[in-house]
């Protein structure tokens, strides 16, 4: 639906401005008059596409166009909580956020949410109409906050949770950035030497009818394969990637991957800590917001990315429904670390499950930070040494025949 920016006069004579969504400019003026605003200027937002163009865009780029980065979503949530805490009405707060946003799709989304709320919908239902932006967890917590009359503190907790998750994911990505850059740089250097430099050396030796060293002949053969059969190689790589993605999309393939990744040395324990930290943090946030344990576990299952651990959470929910403790059920799966199990048991016995989950989440996040820091510290020298060895071998393969050619000419 198009979004219109307006300027007008409020009933008290003050100048007001904002955005409103409507099917046409005429309907937008009608909505403004119903609000008691006399529009003096009305224009469709420059970034708002017509409906037909928007629908075509959604067909081929449905998600990336409408996604909001987690830090931006956390900021919007924090700002909405602040406005509500200052006594601003919900519709006015949403209008204020829409008016200050300089991103067209965010402005449009907030305007649509405000219109739904103005028409009598709850905030949670209005947010649920945008599943690409607001997760089930987010919508569920807002729904709980509205039902309990505590929307402001719930939004604060959501902002805290979003900021923590964004920071945590950023640390993981940051730790993996350096190795990826090193691999790409090394591949580029080796590709240049194999595809361009070595064939030049081979041409010189062919003209002199000299015998090349074994190492050089191997690299020349490799360069010949890369230059002549690169289409087959690229097609094979694309096929391999497509086949892997298809296998991971199947239930059996995904289950095999989940088992394999958990059994990998060092990687498996790190993945387990990351999943446990998200599990504990999300469950603590939901419980603090007033969500009951069983619905909370249903929502938490969606943030557990490993299928085996997600199944254990599902079994835990079924066991709790039958009267068993969550800690005991998770322990029987044999997948969760002893620390998490013991903290959950202590929380269940003391009635302080939320506090215990937050403590264990803090602990695992610190452990993951330390592990990623160690990994980054080790990968730097290791990658540098490996790249140095490979480049040294290739340079010797190039320089050795040049030295031989120099001796022959002498």
Three-state DSSP state, 24: coil
Decide if pLDDT at 100 tops 70.
yes
pLDDT for 52:
38
pLDDT for 1:
54
Q: What is the per-residue burial (b if ≥16 Cβ within 10 Å, else e) of 168-187?
A: beeeeeebeeeeeebeeebe
> What are the φ/ψ torsions at residue 120 (nearest 5 degrees)?
110, 0
Which tops the pLDDT comparison, 281 or 24? 281
Residues in CB range of 365: below 8 A, 6 or more apart: 164, 168, 277, 281
Q: Rounded to an integer, what is the distance from CA 212 to the centroid of its chain?
A: 51
Spatial strand order of the sheet with 38-44 comes to 15-21, 3-9, 38-44
User: What letter would DSSP give residue 171?
Assistant: H
pLDDT for 58:
44
22-42 average pLDDT score: 74
Say if CB 296 and CB 149 are below 8 A apart.
no
Tell me the C-alpha distance between 278 and 274, whole Å.
6
Residue 91: burial class (beta carbons within 10 Å; 0-12, 13-18, 19+):
middle
Which tops the pLDDT comparison, 372 or 250? 250
pLDDT for 248:
81
- Domains belonging to the chain, first-starting first, are 3-134 (1.20.81.30), 168-410 (1.20.81.30)
pLDDT for 231:
85
137-148 average pLDDT score: 74
- The maximal CA–CA distance of the chain, rounded, in angstroms, is 100
pLDDT for 50:
43
Place of tokens 């249903």: 298
Q: Output the average pLDDT for the chain.
A: 77
173-216 residue pLDDT tens: 776 777 778 778 777 777 777 777 777 767 776 676 667 777 77
């Amino acid at each position: 639906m198009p979004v219109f920016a307006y300027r007008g006069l409020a009933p008290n004579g003050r100048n007001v401005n904002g955005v409103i969504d409507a099917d046409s400019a005429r309907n937008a003026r009608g909505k403004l008059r119903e609000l008691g605003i006399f529009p003096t200027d009305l224009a469709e937002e420059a970034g708002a596409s017509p409906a037909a163009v928007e629908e075509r865009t959604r067909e081929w780029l449905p998600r990336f166009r409408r996604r909001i980065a987690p830090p931006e979503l956390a900021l919007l949530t924090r700002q909405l909580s602040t406005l509500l805490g200052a006594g601003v009405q919900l519709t006015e707060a949403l209008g204020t956020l829409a008016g200050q946003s300089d991103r067209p799709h965010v402005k449009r989304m907030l305007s649509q949410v405000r219109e739904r709320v103005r028409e009598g919908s709850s905030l949670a239902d209005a947010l649920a109409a945008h599943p690409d932006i607001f997760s089930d967890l987010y919508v569920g917590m807002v729904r709980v906050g509205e039902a309990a009359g505590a929307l402001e503190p719930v939004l604060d907790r959501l902002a805290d949770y979003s900021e923590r998750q964004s920071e945590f994911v950023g640390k993981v990505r940051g730790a993996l950035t350096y190795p990826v850059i090193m691999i790409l740089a090394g591949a580029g250097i080796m590709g240049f030497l194999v595809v361009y430099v070595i064939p030049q050396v081979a041409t010189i030796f062919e003209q002199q009818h000299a015998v090349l060293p074994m190492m050089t002949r191997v690299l020349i053969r490799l360069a010949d394969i890369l230059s002549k059969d690169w289409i087959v190689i690229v097609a094979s790589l694309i096929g391999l990637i497509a086949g892997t993605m298809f296998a991971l999309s199947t239930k059996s393939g995904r289950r095999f991957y989940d088992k394999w990744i958990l059994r990998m040395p060092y990687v498996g324990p790190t993945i387990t800590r990351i999943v446990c930290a998200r599990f504990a943090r999300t469950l603590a946030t939901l419980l603090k917001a007033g969500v009951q344990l069983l619905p909370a576990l249903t929502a938490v299952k969606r943030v557990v990315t490993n299928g085996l651990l997600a199944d254990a959470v599902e079994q835990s929910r079924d066991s709790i429904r039958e009267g068993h403790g969550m800690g005991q059920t998770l322990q029987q799966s044999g997948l969760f670390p002893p620390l998490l199990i013991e903290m959950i048991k202590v929380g269940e016995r003391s009635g302080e499950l939320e506090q215990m989950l937050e403590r264990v989440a803090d602990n695992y996040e610190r452990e993951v930070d330390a592990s990623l820091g160690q990994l980054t510290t080790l990968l730097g020298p290791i990658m540098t040494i490996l790249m140095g060895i490979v480049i040294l071998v290739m340079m010797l393969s190039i320089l050795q025949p040049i030295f031989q050619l120099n001796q022959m000419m002498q």
